[in-house]
Amino acid sequence: MNRMKMKTEILPAEGEAIAKAADLLRRGELVALPTETVYGIAADARNGAAVAKIFVAKGRPQDNPLILHIPDASWLTRYCEDVPDAAYKLAESFWPGPLTMILKKKPCVPLRTTGGLETVGMRCPDHAVTRAIIEASGVPVAAPSANTSGRPSCTTAEHVREDMWGKIDGIVDGGPCQVGVESTIIDLTVTPPQLLRPGGLPLESLRDALGDDEHGRIGNPGDVLANLSVGRHIDRAGGVIKNEHARMLEQRARDAQALLLTARKRIGALVELVLDLVPENDLFQAFDYGFFDVSVILNAVYA
């Protein structure tokens, strides 16, 4: 099927539409859902084919890890291994809300969703309708921002319609999002926990919630920079790999351009030399004499 010609349905954020959106998600379709920050394109995070459609709709690189959205902390153990007490403490204080916790993933979460990582980001959005839809669908949803890669994130259903029309199956119109910053991300797979991305929740409130034990000593972004684990984070999030790759491609393009310039100069010199040698400076005769034999040209370029 041509995904660009898909029928997109606008669904109200109430009544039967909730069951309809839930049904679309269960069937592996894409539905834009409102959250407290921005609209997300949601898909069943356990379904690799559904998740692949998100990347197609967004035009987003496939190595970017997606965050799982769940209706409450009781779902953590379905998708995460060895959930530490700290996760429940934080969930109690800040969920629903803009806090993403990185935990060890269970095998039911495909690597396609986590960008190849053995860990997974978990979040419970502060939007009652979206939580009701996820609850009714019975599936955790991966939901990156509902916009074409490189375009601004959408904070109204109308913006989503303009950007995603014909690329997704449904848009739940939950009105404008409260304008907010993106979720704070904390990695609970390391001791002490590490702040990976500052966001809606200040570090101090996270420390307060975790109390005075070793979990309270969250590494802050300064520490992270000092011990270079910011590289590890970005690396895990795919950023460094992408930047490294982009840098390598740029370097190759520069090398190729330099080589081409050298080649042009040398071939130019060869042509001038050859033209001096053949009667009447006739290029065709130069070919006849074999002066433009491939090996002659290669010798001229790489000499």
Using CB under 6 A, which of the segments 7-15, 159-167, 181-189, 202-210 binds ligand AMP?
A: 181-189
Counting beta carbons within 10 angstroms of the beta carbon of residue 74, is it exposed (0 to 12), middle (13 to 18) or buried (19 or more)?
exposed
Using CB under 6 A, which of the segments 14-22, 114-122, 129-137, 282-290 binds ligand AMP?
A: 114-122
- Among 76, 188, 237, 300, which residue interacts with ligand AMP (rule: CB under 6 A)? 237
Give me 168's structure tokens: 């997704």
**Rule CB under 6 A: is residue 153 a binding residue for ligand AMP?**
no
Using CB under 6 A, which of the segments 83-91, 116-124, 203-211, 286-294 binds ligand AMP?
A: 116-124
- Among 64, 93, 220, 285, which residue interacts with ligand AMP (rule: CB under 6 A)? 64
**Rule CB under 6 A: is residue 97 a binding residue for ligand AMP?**
no
Chain centroid, CA 72 distance in Å:
24
Asked if residues 171 and 9 have their Cβ atoms less than 8 Å apart, the reply is yes
**Rule CB under 6 A: is residue 194 a binding residue for ligand AMP?**
no
Using CB under 6 A, which of the segments 51-59, 61-69, 86-94, 124-132 binds ligand AMP?
A: 61-69
Asked if residues 199 and 181 have their Cβ atoms less than 8 Å apart, the reply is yes
- Among 113, 145, 184, 229, which residue interacts with Mg ion (rule: CB under 5 A)? 145
**Cβ nearer to ligand AMP, comparing 190 with 263:** 190
Give me 19's structure tokens: 């069951």
Rg of the chain over all Cα atoms, to the nearest angstrom: 27
Q: Name the phi and psi angles at 205, rounded to 5.
A: -70, -35
**Rule CB under 6 A: is residue 196 a binding residue for ligand AMP?**
yes
Give me 189's structure tokens: 């797979």
Taking residue 137's Cβ as centre, other Cβ atoms within 10 Å add up to 22
- Among 33, 35, 65, 157, which residue interacts with ligand AMP (rule: CB under 6 A)? 65
Distant-in-sequence, close-in-space partners of 149: CB < 8 Å, separation ≥ 6: 58, 59, 60, 61
User: Which residue from 60, 48, 90, 55 is spatially nearest to 73, judged by alpha carbons?
Assistant: 90
**Cβ nearer to Mg ion, comparing 38 with 218:** 38
**Rule CB under 6 A: is residue 130 a binding residue for ligand AMP?**
no
**Rule CB under 5 A: is residue 155 a binding residue for Mg ion?**
no
Nearest approach in angstroms of CB 212 to Mg ion is 36
Distance (Å, whole) CA 232 – CA 65: 14
**At how many degrees (to 10) do helices 128-137 and 16-26 cross?**
50
Nearest approach in angstroms of CB 298 to Mg ion is 49
Residues that bind ligand AMP (CB under 6 A): 64-65, 67, 102, 114, 117, 119-121, 144, 182-183, 185, 196, 236-237
Residues that bind Mg ion (CB under 5 A): 145, 153
